Amino acid sequence: MLLRDLYTLSMHNLFLHKIRSFLTSLGIIFGVGSVISMLAISGGAKKEALAQIDAMGIDKIIVYSKAKEQSNTSSSSSTSVLDYGLNYSDQNNILKMENIKRVTTARRLRTPITKGLETLDIELFWVSLHFQEDVNCDVIKGRWLTPSDFENSSTVCVIGRNVKRKIFGLGEKEIVGKTITVGKSNLKVVGVIENKADTKLEGINNLNDSIFIPSTTGVSIFTEYEMIGSISSATIHHVENDLFIVKVDDLEVIDHTAKRISAFMGRAHKTKDWGISVPLNLLRKKEATQNIFTIVMGSIAGISLIVGGIGIMNIMLANVYERRKEIGTRRAIGARKRDILYQFLIETVFLTILGGLLGIGLGIGIAAAITHFSGMPSEVSVISIVGSMAISGIVGIVFGTYPAWKAANENPIKALKAE
């Protein structure tokens, strides 16, 4: 028989039993759907995690302060001073090293920021000039801090995207030029920035939930407010800098540069009141971990495809038994073994490919639903779609061959006599 005729006959038999054909494909539908959705969720999580690390800048080294045990207690028993972390001497010495382009600094105000009686989830930092550039934030309104702001210790600030809503509410449209009161100081808003990756640096909760002022302004007006605790029993944190963002010239020797900085900090500080991380190394480790996670997720989902293939094989074997008289009749009027084999193989492959197409739609829908309701990111890749279709076809061939071979080798005389 011509291949066209075999295809027409196969389609006729499948559509003659629509419900059975659909049920036969269910295993593949759910198998492919689980593969697509799991890989999409895994891919979305990988993309988000890598984007957050990449947003730090792979040409940078992060050095940060770490609180140590309480020390240097003052004469007043009710107030203690914690003196630790990065200092300006560390900054100057790091700047003298080879392969260092600049050192950007940030220091956190440890007094809570309030709105009325409500404590807001907002932090204030006094930072150096290149901070916005080095943390990859975009100015979406107004401007960033200028050199003159630092020279004049101007009482101006730039706020993160979320700060606008938390302080001014949703109804306020134009907030550039408005005033924010922190402690006893009024700060004029000159700009709004956004970090699209929601990057979280060491000691910084979220750049979009932060207020930034010139470092010179912070030193001049906020030091006296750096207290944690009640008035009668407080802890003063004496920290010159919470964060150094060290930008390097040559990315190829960044690991060597990080080791040199680490060695210097170890000599300069008697206690380990500092830490160091290299975003490039974090990126490499995270990428490797996420790749392993994706493989595991894909393998688990792939098992359901195998189970679906076995289900198709069982149903097709039962189908062969039910259609013994049809097979015997066709063989008796001249159909060859290979005609019978190709017919059943076409039916199986068609069912698996159809199931694969429906499974792709199901998987994309599941991934979209999870993203919509839980907020988890997902990313459906072309590779996963093409791969799922290819696997569906292979499953059809592998698990359809035996039932087709079984049908082709039916004895036509016994088949015609079968009840």
Dihedrals phi, psi of 274, to nearest 5 degrees: -150, 160
Residues 99 and 33 reside in one and the same domain:
no
Residues 15 and 107 reside in one and the same domain:
no
CB 261 within 8 A of CB 144: no
Q: Where are the alpha helices (DSSP H) in 273-381?
A: 279-322, 324-332, 337-374
* Number of domains comprising the chain: 2
Going by C-alpha positions, the residue among 10, 30, 49 that lies closest to residue 349 is 10
Dihedrals phi, psi of 115, to nearest 5 degrees: -130, 100
Residues 153 and 247 reside in one and the same domain:
yes
pLDDT, averaged in runs of 10, over the chain (419 residues): 69 77 82 84 74 69 78 51 82 92 90 79 91 89 94 94 86 85 88 83 81 91 55 62 89 86 91 84 66 73 76 79 74 77 82 87 89 82 82 80 77 64
CB 330 within 8 A of CB 340: yes
Residues 124 and 255 reside in one and the same domain:
yes
Residues 46 and 129 reside in one and the same domain:
no
pLDDT of residue 225: 46
Domain boundaries, position 217 = 59-278
CA distance 194 to 379: 23
Residues 212 and 265 reside in one and the same domain:
yes
CA distance 356 to 203: 47
DSSP letter for each residue of 16-58: HTHHHHHHHHHHHHHHHHHHHHHHHHHHHHHHHHHHHHHHH-T
CA angle at 399 for the pair 394 and 401, rounded to the nearest 5°? 95
pLDDT of residue 153: 92
Residues 154 and 77 reside in one and the same domain:
yes
pLDDT of residue 255: 85
Burial label, 81 (beta-carbon count in 10 A; 0-12, 13-18, 19+) = middle
DSSP character at residue 224: G
Residues in a beta bridge with 211: 124, 159
Residues 224 and 317 reside in one and the same domain:
no
Residues 126 and 216 reside in one and the same domain:
yes
Going by C-alpha positions, the residue among 367, 84, 340, 377 that lies closest to residue 235 is 84
Residues 103 and 211 reside in one and the same domain:
yes
